[in-house]
Amino acid sequence: MTRLCPVLTALKASVGIPDDEPLIIAGPCAVESESMFDETVQMLVEHGIRFVRAGIFKPRTSPFTFQGMGEDALEVIGRVAAKYAVALVSEVMESEQIPILSTVASVLQVGTRNMDNYALLKRLGCQPLPVLLKRGFMADSKEFFLAAEYVRREGNERVVLCERGIRTFESATRNTLDLNVVPIARLATDLPIIVDPSHGTGRSDIVIPMARAAIAAGADGLMVEVHPNPPKALSDGLQSLDFERFAAMLQEVRAIYAFVGEGGR
């Protein structure tokens, strides 16, 4: 059964992603410097990626670790985005950051820790940029879908769901990627859903199989962390793909997306 998803269609069209390709948002966990960001975006553009992760406010578990470049990075990411004509996706942690981020970002991301920050969700409903809503790591699917409604109820229909793993007793992975939620979302909502196998696993050695599985399950796309030198990354290096593995993943997921076809999504 073909599903009509105007939010997805418009988002892809806004950056020229063909209908028969998945919506891929890729980039480093955090922007660390202009040179690493430029190098990464250059590679992404060479592979036809139009939406780039550009984290500058980072919600880290430990306050003693890198917290993102913050406002200092705005100029840097704006320059790189203009150079390569890419659209940026950046996380908003509090309402006060919306105006600043809106000067450079095309999509505002709500992280797992803020999925139930209803004041923030309502504010995002009153501004024009699309919202990428990540699932709370303790949220069930119903709570996840209702969080999206907090944005939509205020008038902003442009919400994309993102499954990024939930907390379980399993300790081999950082989170448990709940791919059940992909077909459930398709039945229960009219919103697009993408999957983040980077945070969903926490391990770069299993990101590719889970990316494949996500697309096979009917996801509309992926959010993936990629870094020029993962062992040297200031955040989430363990789950970041290097350029070579990213290119391999892309080829595979594009083929699976075409194979699944609109009928299977």
158 binds, among Mn ion, ligand PEP, none (CB under 5 to 8 A by kind): none
Long-range contacts for 31-36 (Cβ within 8 Å, ≥24 apart)? Answer: 31/55, 31/56, 31/68, 31/69, 31/73, 31/76, 31/77, 32/66, 32/69, 32/233, 32/234, 33/76, 34/76, 34/79, 34/80, 36/227, 36/228
Q: How far is the CB of 246 from ligand PEP (least distance, A)?
A: 16
Any contact of residue 40 with ligand PEP (CB under 6 A)? no
When the beta carbons of 55 and 230 are compared against ligand PEP, the nearer one is 55
227 binds ligand PEP (CB under 6 A): no
Detail the DSSP E strand segments found in 178-230. 193-195, 221-225
174 binds ligand PEP (CB under 6 A): no
Residue 164's binding partner out of Mn ion, ligand PEP, none, with CB under 5 to 8 Å set by partner kind: ligand PEP
Characterize 171-182 residue by residue with b for buried, 16 or more Cβ atoms within 10 angstroms of its Cβ, and e for exposed. Answer: eebbbbbbbebb
Q: What amino acid occupies position 155? A: G
Q: Is 196 in the site for Mn ion (CB under 5 A)?
A: no
Question: What is d(CA 222, CA 193) in angstroms, rounded to the nearest whole number?
Answer: 9
Q: How far is the CB of 264 from ligand PEP (least distance, A)?
A: 26
According to CB under 6 A, which one of 40, 106, 112, 239 is a site residue for ligand PEP? 112
What does the alpha-carbon distance between residue 214 and residue 100 come to, in Å, rounded to a whole number?
Answer: 33
Q: Which of 224, 236, 249, 257 binds Mn ion (CB under 5 A)?
A: 236
Query: What is the spatial distance between Cα 174 and Cα 163, in angstroms, rounded to a whole number?
Result: 14
CB of 55 to ligand PEP, least distance (A): 5
Q: Smallest distance, Å, CB 24 to Mn ion?
A: 16
Binding positions for ligand PEP, 92-111, rule CB under 6 A: 111
At residue 91, what are phi and psi to the nearest 5 degrees?
A: -80, 135
C-beta closer to ligand PEP: residue 156 or 239: 239
Given the rule CB under 5 A, which residues bind Mn ion? Answer: 29, 236
Given the rule CB under 6 A, which residues bind ligand PEP? Answer: 29, 55, 59, 91, 111-112, 134, 164, 199
